[in-house]
Chains A and B, each alone.
Chain A
Amino acid sequence: MGSTQKDVQVSYDVSNDFFRLWLDERMNYTCGVFEGTDNLEEAQVKKLNIIHDFAHLSPDKRVLDIGCGWGANIEFMALDKGVKDVHGVTLSPAQFEEIKRRNIPGVTAHCGNFFDYEPAEKFDALTSICMIEHVCSPEEARNGKAVELYRNYFKRAHAITKKGAWFGLQSILRNFVPRSQKDIRDIGWVTYAIFPGGITPRMEEIVQAVNPYWEIMEVKTRREDYGKTCWHWRDRLRKNEALIKDKWGTQVFDDYDRYLSACVTGFEKHYQSLAQWSLRRID
Protein backbone atom coordinates (compact mmCIF):
# COMPACT_ATOMS: atom_id res chain seq x y z
CA MET A 1 0.00 0.00 0.00
CA GLY A 2 3.04 2.30 -0.07
CA SER A 3 3.14 5.67 1.70
CA THR A 4 0.33 6.60 4.08
CA GLN A 5 -0.84 10.18 4.48
CA LYS A 6 1.37 10.42 7.55
CA ASP A 7 4.36 9.29 5.50
CA VAL A 8 3.57 11.76 2.73
CA GLN A 9 3.42 14.54 5.29
CA VAL A 10 6.97 13.72 6.37
CA SER A 11 8.08 14.20 2.75
CA TYR A 12 6.06 17.25 1.70
CA ASP A 13 4.70 19.07 4.73
CA VAL A 14 7.98 20.41 6.17
CA SER A 15 6.82 23.91 5.13
CA ASN A 16 5.72 25.34 1.79
CA ASP A 17 8.07 28.30 2.27
CA PHE A 18 10.97 25.93 2.83
CA PHE A 19 10.43 24.18 -0.52
CA ARG A 20 9.78 27.50 -2.23
CA LEU A 21 13.33 28.57 -1.35
CA TRP A 22 15.06 25.90 -3.39
CA LEU A 23 12.62 24.57 -6.01
CA ASP A 24 11.88 26.45 -9.27
CA GLU A 25 9.26 29.19 -9.10
CA ARG A 26 6.44 26.83 -10.13
CA MET A 27 7.54 24.39 -7.41
CA ASN A 28 8.14 21.28 -9.46
CA TYR A 29 9.56 18.69 -7.10
CA THR A 30 10.63 16.35 -9.90
CA CYS A 31 13.24 16.05 -12.64
CA GLY A 32 13.54 18.84 -15.22
CA VAL A 33 14.82 18.46 -18.78
CA PHE A 34 18.06 20.30 -19.49
CA GLU A 35 17.91 20.22 -23.26
CA GLY A 36 19.60 23.34 -24.60
CA THR A 37 19.49 25.05 -21.21
CA ASP A 38 21.27 25.09 -17.88
CA ASN A 39 18.48 26.99 -16.21
CA LEU A 40 16.24 25.15 -13.75
CA GLU A 41 13.09 27.19 -14.47
CA GLU A 42 13.41 26.50 -18.21
CA ALA A 43 14.23 22.84 -17.65
CA GLN A 44 11.05 22.40 -15.63
CA VAL A 45 8.92 23.97 -18.37
CA LYS A 46 10.53 21.63 -20.92
CA LYS A 47 9.59 18.69 -18.72
CA LEU A 48 6.00 19.91 -18.38
CA ASN A 49 5.76 20.27 -22.17
CA ILE A 50 7.01 16.71 -22.70
CA ILE A 51 4.48 15.26 -20.25
CA HIS A 52 1.76 17.37 -21.90
CA ASP A 53 2.69 15.95 -25.30
CA PHE A 54 3.05 12.38 -23.99
CA ALA A 55 -0.52 12.65 -22.66
CA HIS A 56 -1.73 13.94 -26.08
CA LEU A 57 -3.41 16.91 -24.43
CA SER A 58 -5.41 19.62 -26.13
CA PRO A 59 -7.59 22.40 -24.68
CA ASP A 60 -10.83 20.41 -24.98
CA LYS A 61 -9.61 17.49 -22.85
CA ARG A 62 -10.52 16.59 -19.31
CA VAL A 63 -7.31 15.64 -17.49
CA LEU A 64 -6.26 14.41 -14.06
CA ASP A 65 -2.76 14.93 -12.62
CA ILE A 66 -2.10 12.14 -10.10
CA GLY A 67 0.10 13.30 -7.22
CA CYS A 68 -0.04 16.94 -8.26
CA GLY A 69 2.35 18.38 -5.66
CA TRP A 70 2.06 22.14 -5.17
CA GLY A 71 0.27 22.48 -8.50
CA ALA A 72 3.06 23.13 -11.02
CA ASN A 73 1.66 20.82 -13.70
CA ILE A 74 -2.05 21.57 -13.25
CA GLU A 75 -1.29 25.29 -13.39
CA PHE A 76 0.84 24.78 -16.50
CA MET A 77 -1.85 22.75 -18.28
CA ALA A 78 -4.60 25.23 -17.41
CA LEU A 79 -2.78 28.54 -17.89
CA ASP A 80 0.06 27.87 -20.32
CA LYS A 81 -1.73 25.29 -22.47
CA GLY A 82 -5.34 26.40 -22.11
CA VAL A 83 -6.66 22.99 -21.08
CA LYS A 84 -10.17 23.76 -19.83
CA ASP A 85 -10.94 20.97 -17.39
CA VAL A 86 -7.93 20.22 -15.20
CA HIS A 87 -8.01 18.14 -12.03
CA GLY A 88 -5.33 17.27 -9.53
CA VAL A 89 -5.08 14.99 -6.53
CA THR A 90 -2.47 15.11 -3.78
CA LEU A 91 -2.29 13.33 -0.45
CA SER A 92 -0.50 16.26 1.19
CA PRO A 93 -2.60 18.86 3.05
CA ALA A 94 0.21 21.46 2.85
CA GLN A 95 0.42 21.09 -0.92
CA PHE A 96 -3.34 21.34 -1.16
CA GLU A 97 -3.22 24.65 0.75
CA GLU A 98 -0.71 26.02 -1.76
CA ILE A 99 -2.92 24.96 -4.69
CA LYS A 100 -5.93 26.70 -3.12
CA ARG A 101 -3.79 29.80 -2.57
CA ARG A 102 -2.92 29.85 -6.30
CA ASN A 103 -6.63 29.90 -7.14
CA ILE A 104 -6.13 28.77 -10.74
CA PRO A 105 -9.11 29.17 -13.10
CA GLY A 106 -10.20 25.85 -14.63
CA VAL A 107 -8.43 23.79 -11.97
CA THR A 108 -10.10 21.54 -9.41
CA ALA A 109 -7.84 20.04 -6.77
CA HIS A 110 -8.63 17.28 -4.33
CA CYS A 111 -6.74 16.39 -1.17
CA GLY A 112 -6.87 12.63 -0.64
CA ASN A 113 -5.69 9.24 -1.73
CA PHE A 114 -5.70 8.54 -5.46
CA PHE A 115 -6.79 4.97 -4.80
CA ASP A 116 -9.99 6.21 -3.12
CA TYR A 117 -10.60 9.03 -5.58
CA GLU A 118 -13.95 8.75 -7.41
CA PRO A 119 -14.28 11.34 -10.17
CA ALA A 120 -17.74 12.50 -11.19
CA GLU A 121 -16.83 11.85 -14.83
CA LYS A 122 -14.09 9.86 -16.55
CA PHE A 123 -10.96 11.52 -17.94
CA ASP A 124 -9.64 11.83 -21.49
CA ALA A 125 -6.08 11.93 -20.28
CA LEU A 126 -3.87 11.43 -17.24
CA THR A 127 -0.55 12.82 -16.16
CA SER A 128 1.48 11.70 -13.17
CA ILE A 129 4.91 13.04 -12.40
CA CYS A 130 6.76 10.92 -9.88
CA MET A 131 3.93 9.77 -7.65
CA ILE A 132 4.35 6.05 -8.39
CA GLU A 133 7.40 6.05 -6.07
CA HIS A 134 4.87 6.14 -3.21
CA VAL A 135 2.85 3.11 -4.31
CA CYS A 136 5.03 0.28 -2.96
CA SER A 137 7.04 0.21 0.27
CA PRO A 138 10.54 -1.30 0.59
CA GLU A 139 9.08 -4.16 2.65
CA GLU A 140 6.44 -4.86 0.00
CA ALA A 141 9.10 -4.79 -2.72
CA ARG A 142 11.22 -7.27 -0.73
CA ASN A 143 8.18 -9.53 -0.40
CA GLY A 144 7.69 -9.59 -4.16
CA LYS A 145 4.58 -7.38 -4.16
CA ALA A 146 5.88 -4.56 -6.41
CA VAL A 147 4.41 -5.59 -9.77
CA GLU A 148 1.03 -6.34 -8.20
CA LEU A 149 0.90 -2.92 -6.50
CA TYR A 150 2.00 -0.99 -9.58
CA ARG A 151 -0.51 -2.97 -11.67
CA ASN A 152 -3.23 -1.92 -9.26
CA TYR A 153 -2.23 1.72 -9.86
CA PHE A 154 -2.47 1.24 -13.63
CA LYS A 155 -5.76 -0.60 -13.22
CA ARG A 156 -7.19 2.29 -11.23
CA ALA A 157 -5.92 4.72 -13.88
CA HIS A 158 -7.64 2.60 -16.53
CA ALA A 159 -10.92 2.54 -14.58
CA ILE A 160 -11.18 6.34 -14.39
CA THR A 161 -10.39 7.06 -18.05
CA LYS A 162 -12.45 7.01 -21.23
CA LYS A 163 -11.64 4.88 -24.24
CA GLY A 164 -8.78 6.29 -26.27
CA ALA A 165 -7.13 7.97 -23.26
CA TRP A 166 -3.41 8.72 -23.08
CA PHE A 167 -1.24 8.84 -19.98
CA GLY A 168 1.93 10.96 -19.62
CA LEU A 169 3.88 9.33 -16.81
CA GLN A 170 7.21 10.16 -15.23
CA SER A 171 8.94 7.92 -12.71
CA ILE A 172 12.27 7.52 -11.00
CA LEU A 173 13.83 4.12 -11.66
CA ARG A 174 15.86 2.03 -9.27
CA ASN A 175 18.82 0.42 -10.99
CA PHE A 176 22.25 -0.66 -9.66
CA VAL A 177 22.54 -1.72 -6.03
CA PRO A 178 25.25 0.45 -4.43
CA ARG A 179 28.49 -1.28 -3.42
CA SER A 180 30.03 1.20 -0.97
CA GLN A 181 29.03 1.43 2.67
CA LYS A 182 28.50 5.19 2.55
CA ASP A 183 26.29 5.00 -0.54
CA ILE A 184 24.27 2.07 0.79
CA ARG A 185 23.66 3.93 4.05
CA ASP A 186 22.85 7.25 2.35
CA ILE A 187 20.42 5.77 -0.16
CA GLY A 188 18.79 3.70 2.59
CA TRP A 189 18.47 6.76 4.77
CA VAL A 190 16.85 8.82 1.99
CA THR A 191 14.37 5.99 1.41
CA TYR A 192 13.38 5.64 5.07
CA ALA A 193 13.83 9.15 6.49
CA ILE A 194 12.92 11.50 3.63
CA PHE A 195 10.41 9.42 1.64
CA PRO A 196 8.98 6.91 4.12
CA GLY A 197 6.67 4.21 2.83
CA GLY A 198 7.95 4.37 -0.73
CA ILE A 199 10.61 2.93 -2.98
CA THR A 200 11.52 3.76 -6.56
CA PRO A 201 10.31 1.14 -9.07
CA ARG A 202 12.55 -0.85 -11.37
CA MET A 203 11.95 -0.32 -15.08
CA GLU A 204 11.09 -3.97 -15.65
CA GLU A 205 8.46 -3.82 -12.90
CA ILE A 206 6.65 -1.01 -14.70
CA VAL A 207 6.98 -2.76 -18.05
CA GLN A 208 5.23 -5.77 -16.52
CA ALA A 209 2.71 -3.81 -14.48
CA VAL A 210 1.15 -1.70 -17.25
CA ASN A 211 -0.37 -4.86 -18.72
CA PRO A 212 -3.18 -5.49 -19.51
CA TYR A 213 -4.29 -1.86 -19.11
CA TRP A 214 -1.85 0.41 -20.93
CA GLU A 215 0.36 0.09 -23.99
CA ILE A 216 3.82 1.63 -23.82
CA MET A 217 4.09 3.86 -26.89
CA GLU A 218 7.25 5.79 -26.02
CA VAL A 219 9.77 5.81 -23.23
CA LYS A 220 12.72 8.11 -22.68
CA THR A 221 15.24 7.86 -19.86
CA ARG A 222 16.81 10.93 -18.29
CA ARG A 223 19.27 9.85 -15.63
CA GLU A 224 21.63 12.77 -16.16
CA ASP A 225 18.82 15.33 -16.16
CA TYR A 226 17.77 14.22 -12.71
CA GLY A 227 21.35 14.45 -11.44
CA LYS A 228 21.45 18.04 -12.73
CA THR A 229 18.08 18.88 -11.20
CA CYS A 230 19.24 17.67 -7.78
CA TRP A 231 22.46 19.62 -8.19
CA HIS A 232 20.45 22.82 -8.80
CA TRP A 233 18.19 22.14 -5.82
CA ARG A 234 21.19 21.60 -3.54
CA ASP A 235 22.87 24.71 -4.90
CA ARG A 236 19.80 26.80 -4.06
CA LEU A 237 19.44 25.10 -0.70
CA ARG A 238 23.05 25.96 0.16
CA LYS A 239 22.61 29.56 -0.96
CA ASN A 240 19.83 29.80 1.64
CA GLU A 241 21.70 27.95 4.38
CA ALA A 242 21.62 30.69 7.00
CA LEU A 243 17.92 31.45 6.49
CA ILE A 244 16.94 27.78 6.52
CA LYS A 245 18.92 27.05 9.68
CA ASP A 246 17.40 30.06 11.33
CA LYS A 247 13.78 29.27 10.40
CA TRP A 248 13.66 25.47 10.39
CA GLY A 249 16.80 24.46 12.31
CA THR A 250 20.19 22.99 11.51
CA GLN A 251 18.87 19.45 11.33
CA VAL A 252 16.49 20.25 8.47
CA PHE A 253 19.26 21.91 6.49
CA ASP A 254 21.71 19.07 7.15
CA ASP A 255 19.14 16.40 6.29
CA TYR A 256 18.18 18.02 2.99
CA ASP A 257 21.80 18.66 2.08
CA ARG A 258 22.65 15.01 2.75
CA TYR A 259 19.59 13.79 0.84
CA LEU A 260 20.21 15.94 -2.24
CA SER A 261 23.91 14.99 -2.21
CA ALA A 262 22.97 11.32 -2.06
CA CYS A 263 20.70 11.89 -5.07
CA VAL A 264 23.43 13.62 -7.08
CA THR A 265 25.67 10.61 -6.40
CA GLY A 266 22.83 8.16 -6.96
CA PHE A 267 22.11 9.38 -10.49
CA GLU A 268 25.82 9.67 -11.29
CA LYS A 269 26.49 6.08 -10.29
CA HIS A 270 23.38 4.60 -11.93
CA TYR A 271 21.74 3.66 -8.62
CA GLN A 272 18.76 5.62 -9.91
CA SER A 273 17.54 6.79 -13.28
CA LEU A 274 14.40 8.49 -14.56
CA ALA A 275 11.89 7.62 -17.25
CA GLN A 276 9.14 9.47 -19.08
CA TRP A 277 6.47 7.23 -20.54
CA SER A 278 3.73 7.80 -23.06
CA LEU A 279 1.02 5.23 -22.45
CA ARG A 280 -2.09 4.55 -24.48
CA ARG A 281 -5.15 3.00 -22.89
CA ILE A 282 -5.92 -0.55 -23.99
CA ASP A 283 -9.67 -0.24 -24.54
Chain B
Amino acid sequence: MHTDDQIIELFRAAVKEVDGKDLGAITRETEISDLGLDSVMTMEVIGVLEEKLDMRFPDEDLATLKRIGDLTTLVRKMAA
Protein backbone atom coordinates (compact mmCIF):
# COMPACT_ATOMS: atom_id res chain seq x y z
CA MET B 1 0.00 0.00 0.00
CA HIS B 2 1.40 3.40 -1.01
CA THR B 3 1.19 6.54 1.10
CA ASP B 4 0.07 9.81 -0.50
CA ASP B 5 3.66 11.02 -0.53
CA GLN B 6 4.84 7.91 -2.34
CA ILE B 7 2.08 8.26 -4.94
CA ILE B 8 3.00 11.92 -5.44
CA GLU B 9 6.65 10.92 -5.96
CA LEU B 10 5.61 8.30 -8.54
CA PHE B 11 3.50 10.91 -10.29
CA ARG B 12 6.45 13.31 -10.33
CA ALA B 13 8.65 10.59 -11.86
CA ALA B 14 5.99 9.82 -14.46
CA VAL B 15 5.83 13.49 -15.54
CA LYS B 16 9.62 13.53 -15.77
CA GLU B 17 9.52 10.44 -17.96
CA VAL B 18 6.85 11.78 -20.31
CA ASP B 19 7.67 15.47 -20.47
CA GLY B 20 11.27 15.62 -19.22
CA LYS B 21 10.41 18.36 -16.77
CA ASP B 22 10.84 18.55 -13.02
CA LEU B 23 7.69 19.66 -11.27
CA GLY B 24 8.06 22.13 -8.45
CA ALA B 25 6.39 21.52 -5.14
CA ILE B 26 3.14 19.61 -5.47
CA THR B 27 0.67 18.72 -2.78
CA ARG B 28 -2.71 17.04 -2.60
CA GLU B 29 -4.22 20.46 -3.29
CA THR B 30 -2.35 21.06 -6.56
CA GLU B 31 -4.68 21.29 -9.58
CA ILE B 32 -3.61 18.84 -12.30
CA SER B 33 -4.66 21.36 -14.96
CA ASP B 34 -2.10 23.83 -13.56
CA LEU B 35 0.85 21.55 -14.31
CA GLY B 36 1.19 22.61 -17.95
CA LEU B 37 0.41 19.19 -19.43
CA ASP B 38 -1.83 18.93 -22.47
CA SER B 39 -4.53 16.25 -22.58
CA VAL B 40 -2.41 13.76 -24.53
CA MET B 41 0.50 14.14 -22.08
CA THR B 42 -1.84 13.79 -19.13
CA MET B 43 -3.05 10.43 -20.47
CA GLU B 44 0.54 9.38 -21.07
CA VAL B 45 1.48 10.31 -17.51
CA ILE B 46 -1.50 8.28 -16.28
CA GLY B 47 -0.29 5.35 -18.41
CA VAL B 48 3.22 5.50 -16.94
CA LEU B 49 1.84 5.81 -13.43
CA GLU B 50 -0.45 2.82 -14.01
CA GLU B 51 2.56 0.80 -15.11
CA LYS B 52 4.57 1.79 -12.04
CA LEU B 53 1.66 0.91 -9.77
CA ASP B 54 0.69 -2.16 -11.78
CA MET B 55 -2.95 -1.12 -11.86
CA ARG B 56 -5.39 0.26 -14.38
CA PHE B 57 -7.80 3.06 -13.54
CA PRO B 58 -11.32 2.88 -14.98
CA ASP B 59 -11.64 5.52 -17.69
CA GLU B 60 -14.69 7.15 -16.15
CA ASP B 61 -12.80 7.78 -12.89
CA LEU B 62 -10.10 9.66 -14.81
CA ALA B 63 -12.65 12.16 -16.07
CA THR B 64 -13.33 13.24 -12.47
CA LEU B 65 -9.70 13.87 -11.44
CA LYS B 66 -9.09 17.53 -10.68
CA ARG B 67 -6.49 17.72 -7.95
CA ILE B 68 -3.52 15.52 -7.09
CA GLY B 69 -5.44 14.48 -3.97
CA ASP B 70 -8.17 12.99 -6.19
CA LEU B 71 -5.50 10.86 -7.81
CA THR B 72 -4.01 9.63 -4.53
CA THR B 73 -7.52 8.83 -3.30
CA LEU B 74 -8.22 6.88 -6.49
CA VAL B 75 -4.97 4.90 -6.17
CA ARG B 76 -5.72 3.99 -2.57
CA LYS B 77 -9.30 3.05 -3.45
CA MET B 78 -8.06 0.78 -6.25
CA ALA B 79 -5.48 -0.90 -4.00
CA ALA B 80 -7.96 -1.48 -1.17
Contact = CB atoms under 8 A, between A and B. Distances in A.
Contact of A177 (B41, B43, B48): B43
B43 A184 contact: yes
Nearest to A175: B59
Interface residues of B, number: 10
A179 B43 contact: yes
B46 interface: yes
Given A184-B40, A185-B40, A179 B59 contact: no
A180 B59 contact: no
Contacts of A185: 40
Interface of B: 40-41, 43-44, 46-48, 50, 59, 62
B40 A176 contact: no
Interface of A: 176-181, 184-185
Question: Secondary structure of the A side of the interface?
Answer: loop
> Which of B40, B41, B46 lies at the interface centre, i.e. has the most chain A CB atoms within 10 A of its CB?
B40
B43 A178 contact: yes
Contacts of B48: 179
Nearest to B49: A179
A201 to B, nearest CB: 15
A181 B62 contact: no
A179 B46 CA distance: 7
Contacts of A178: 43
Contacts of A184: 40, 43-44
B44 A181 contact: yes
Contacts of B40: 181, 184-185
Contacts of B46: 179
Contacts of A177: 43, 59, 62
Among A176, A178, A179, max chain B CB count under 10 A is at A179
